[in-house]
Amino acid sequence: MQVNFYQSRPIYEQIIDEIKKMLVRKELQPGDQLPSQRELAQQINVNPNTIQRAYREMEITGLAESRRGLGTFIISEQDLIKDLKEEMAQLATQNFISEMKSLGFEAAEIEKWVKQNQGINEKKTPGGEGNE
Amino acid sequence: MNENNPVITTENLHKRYGRTAALQGISCQFPRGKITGLIGPNGSGKSTLLKLIMGLIKADRGSLNIMGHPPGRKNKANIAFLPEINNLYRSMSLQELIDLYHSQFSTFCPETARELLSFMNLQPEKTVKQLSKGMVGRFKLILTMARRVPLILLDEPLTGIDIKSRSNILEGLISKFNPEEQTIILSTHEIIETERYFDHVIFLEDGAVSLQGDADDLRAEYGQSIQELAKEVFV
């Protein structure tokens, strides 16, 4: 896990967000064991109490569960990834629309901008042709 | 607060030096098992508060309770703080100073000192005289953290120290911090690098508490970093 923390948001929330992203990117699977609190604290250079808070919050919201003597595990829920993807897509879309509206764009124009930028993050094909 | 069992409680604490009021009625609590950042500009009273906690000076008025006792001899063995490495010790090697500390403190763990020496890339046979300021800062942290005690006080551990040594010090601190048995208080006016490690913060200005609370809760409540909050709080 590599995180650069924005200090203006609770750090434990950012840790949870990063774990969610790892699940969506398939770097983590449902049912996987998370590193011990101490290990993760060392890995990402954070106060172990902050990791404890992140893990506890994930248990409360049902994203993870603690198994006594073994550690903390992501739940093995079938639809977990799908649900997370939806949750994160919703948030990203809302932020984007909010931003565009604040620039004065209306719905139809916003849609046009999305279409125009569909291919923007795709790799260029060999032969040097960019994507439109 | 760690379920209302704070490791230190102060109530209306006053301390004056001559005509200067260093602490003007401080009431605050330091939560057990957490890292508390004691934040404030120079002259705000941070060092005074830490010296009171260490029992080096006495308050004029008010109460101060540390691990169930007033400051003094009962707590001495349980509190570690950054040492002054004065001229007397400068010709000694790091290993000699470690051995000295070991002989003085029963809770000193040479294994921890060894691990930290290696982590910080310091050679035990070097003398203090041969070290840069940053290295001395790192070594002081090693001597402090090698004492496995319930309360650790770090008064401005980063001041005047180069950036690489600072992150070394903070990482070394985190690596040896055991929240189940230890509490750390770190005073500083350099918030940018330190705030990520704080569970709890207490803002001191002109001898009074301006703001205190859980660091992440404050970030959520104000939508700002502790650094940004401090800029607003300290007018």
Q: Do A10 and B35 touch (CB under 8 A)?
A: no
How do residues B102-157 score in pLDDT, each as one tens digit? 999 999 999 999 999 999 999 999 999 999 999 999 999 999 999 999 999 999 99
Q: For an interface test with B, which of A49, A55, A56 has the most B Cβ atoms less than 10 Å from its Cβ?
A: A49
Determine the average pLDDT of the residues in A6-18.
92
Q: Do A49 and B179 touch (CB under 8 A)?
A: yes
| Separation between Cα atoms, residue B12 and residue B26, nearest integer Å | 5
| Weakest-pLDDT range from A1-10, B45-54, B149-158, B218-227 | A1-10
Q: For an interface test with A, which of B197, B222, B227 has the most A Cβ atoms less than 10 Å from its Cβ?
A: B197
Predicted confidence (pLDDT) at residue B50 exceeds the cutoff of 70: yes
Question: Phi-psi category of A77—alpha, beta or left, where left has phi over 0 and alpha has psi -120 to 50?
Answer: beta
A11: which chain B residues are within 8 Å (Cβ-Cβ)? 196, 215-216, 219
Which of residues B142 and B85 earns the better pLDDT score?
B142
| Separation between Cα atoms, residue B13 and residue B69, nearest integer Å | 15
Give A122's pLDDT tier (boundaries 50, 70, 90): low
Q: What's the whole-model pTM score?
A: 0.89
Q: Do A42 and B175 touch (CB under 8 A)?
A: yes
A42: which chain B residues are within 8 Å (Cβ-Cβ)? 174-175
Measured in angstroms, the CA of B171 and the nearest CA of chain A are apart by: 7
Predicted confidence (pLDDT) at residue B13 exceeds the cutoff of 90: yes
Q: Do B174 and A7 touch (CB under 8 A)?
A: no
* HSE-CB for A65 with a 13 A CA cutoff: 8
pLDDT for A67 equals: 92
Predicted confidence (pLDDT) at residue A128 exceeds the cutoff of 50: no
Which residue in A has a C-alpha nearest to residue B216's C-alpha? A10
How do residues A80-94 score in pLDDT, each as one tens digit? 888 888 998 999 999
Give B3's pLDDT tier (boundaries 50, 70, 90): low
- Whether ipTM > 0.85 holds is yes
pLDDT for A129 equals: 46
A6: which chain B residues are within 8 Å (Cβ-Cβ)? 225
Are B175 and A42 a contacting pair, CB within 8 Å? yes
A53: which chain B residues are within 8 Å (Cβ-Cβ)? 216
A48: which chain B residues are within 8 Å (Cβ-Cβ)? 174, 177, 179
pLDDT for A131 equals: 43
Q: Tell me the DSSP string of B190-234.
A: -HHHHGGG-SEEEEEETTEEEEEEEHHHHHHHHSS-HHHHHHHH-
Which residue in B has a C-alpha nearest to residue A6's C-alpha? B225
How do residues A60-113 score in pLDDT, each as one tens digit? 999 999 999 899 999 998 788 888 889 989 999 999 999 999 999 998 999 999
Q: Do B179 and A48 touch (CB under 8 A)?
A: yes
Query: How many Å separate Cα B217 from the centre of its chain?
Result: 22
Are A66 and A84 a contacting pair, CB within 8 Å? no
- Letter for the amino acid at B59? A
Give B65's pLDDT tier (boundaries 50, 70, 90): very high
B171: which chain A residues are within 8 Å (Cβ-Cβ)? 45
